[in-house]
Amino acid sequence: MAGNLIGREFTITTFGESHGKVVGVLIDGCPAGLGLSETDFEEELKERIPDNPKIVSARIEKDVPQILSGVFNGYTTGAPLVIIVENREVQSGDYEVIKNLPRPSHSDYPARIRYGGFNDYRGSGRFSGRMTVALIIAGVVAKKLLAHYDIEVLAYTQAIGLIKSDKEVSLFECRKNRNATTTRCLDVACAEKMEAAIVAAKESGDSLGGVIECVTFNMPAGIGEPLFDTLDGDLAKALFSIPAVKGVEFGRGFRVAELRGTENNDAFCIQEGRVVTVTKNAGGILGGLSNGMPIVIRVAIKPTPSIVKEQQTVNLLTYENTQISIKGRHDPCIVPKAVPAVEAAVAITLVDHLMRSGNISKILKRP
């Protein structure tokens, strides 16, 4: 395959480009009997773009999902689901003037080499953050399936630039507050500082990155396929499909390298009749398998590479050094928009592994 498909039992294939007619997804393996309509996607797609023009791109699509197949009388049929969203708010002319000037930290140059210059360079084409719309659509289906088994995936902004929230979170707090601030930070005071930092970066012609934390609650133990299809390995693979992701860690991540075994080991105990761990350093995964504790993942998002400040690049026609200042509509910080995409990537992977293990039926009972 050409890299457009992920999953074994619950597979998704995305299609479209940023400035093409549509972006969409084909979902194969969705069980029959899942209640599904176009309205199920509307809230999630609306929440993709924070309601704050100071911290987001001026390109605000009114995404209207269309289900083309796989649903009959309000329920999935077991046939492939095809869902699309039209691209309407495009300004392709912004990219004509820089099509031979690869933008620093963008995919422009390697994509031109890989596809011989035939790739759609407008808005980064397939490499655009716009493609996360297809991922989010598939994530809605995955999260509805997980809800049948009381499994919940919730992500939020933990850091933007040097501003970080260390607040301990609960399932209740995640549900209540994850969309309460436009930066998607659960800590309101910290969120205000993050917003101010984004605005300041934008005003100076620059951008910021950050960290998204994602927690999965009520995941059963023993899910994963070691050695080469580990749960954490597949989660990382799905998360790296999101443009701008540069790092993924589980539990204490890279910090475990600084600890002794006595500090890092998660001791087991019995709590309310079930096996749990006293600490959560492993992030809910051991040996590539879920251990029944919350799965905690952090994702590093790079600063938006399209910035107004002048940067050095090359002219691919003349092979001369030159400067580039990127005009057009770009987010000064991608992090808030990436939060639902992180949730989606995690939910899709969990459904696939739960189906592989037989924990999700291929036919759902009517409610």
pLDDT tens by residue, 178-190: 788 999 999 989 9
The domain spans of the chain are 5-356
Please, which residues have CB within 8 angstroms of residue 298's CB and are 6 or more apart in sequence? 158, 211, 212, 213, 214, 248, 249, 250, 253
Pair 6, 27: CB distance under 8 Å: no
As a whole number of angstroms, the distance between CA 228 and CA 226 comes to 5
Q: Of 40-44, 67-71, 221-225, where does mean pLDDT reach its minimum?
A: 40-44
Half-sphere exposure of 30 (CA within 13 A, CB side): 30
pLDDT band at 47 (very low <50, low <70, confident <90, very high): confident
Helix, strand, coil percent content, the chain, rounded in steps of 5 = 30, 25, 45
pTM tops 0.85, yes or no: yes
Longest dimension (CA), the chain: 71
127-178 confidence digits (pLDDT tens): 998 999 999 999 999 999 999 999 999 999 999 999 999 877 777 777 778 7
Query: What are the residue ranges of helices labelled H in 124-251?
Result: 132-147, 171-177, 188-203, 231-239
Question: What is the fold, at CATH topology level, of the domain defined by 5-356?
Answer: Chorismate synthase, AroC fold (3.60.150)
pLDDT band at 52 (very low <50, low <70, confident <90, very high): confident
**pLDDT exceeds 60 at position 277:** yes
Q: Is the Cα torsion angle 93, 98, 103, 109 positive or negative in sign?
A: positive
**pLDDT exceeds 70 at position 58:** no
289, β-bridge pairs: 286
294-342 confidence digits (pLDDT tens): 999 999 999 999 999 999 999 999 999 999 998 877 889 999 999 999 9
81-92 confidence digits (pLDDT tens): 999 999 987 777
6-24 confidence digits (pLDDT tens): 999 999 999 999 998 999 9
pLDDT at 175: 78
pLDDT band at 207 (very low <50, low <70, confident <90, very high): very high
CA-derived radius of gyration, the chain: 21
Beta strands in 199-294 (DSSP E): 210-217, 245-250, 268-271, 274-277, 285-286, 289-290
Percentage of the chain exceeding pLDDT 70: 98
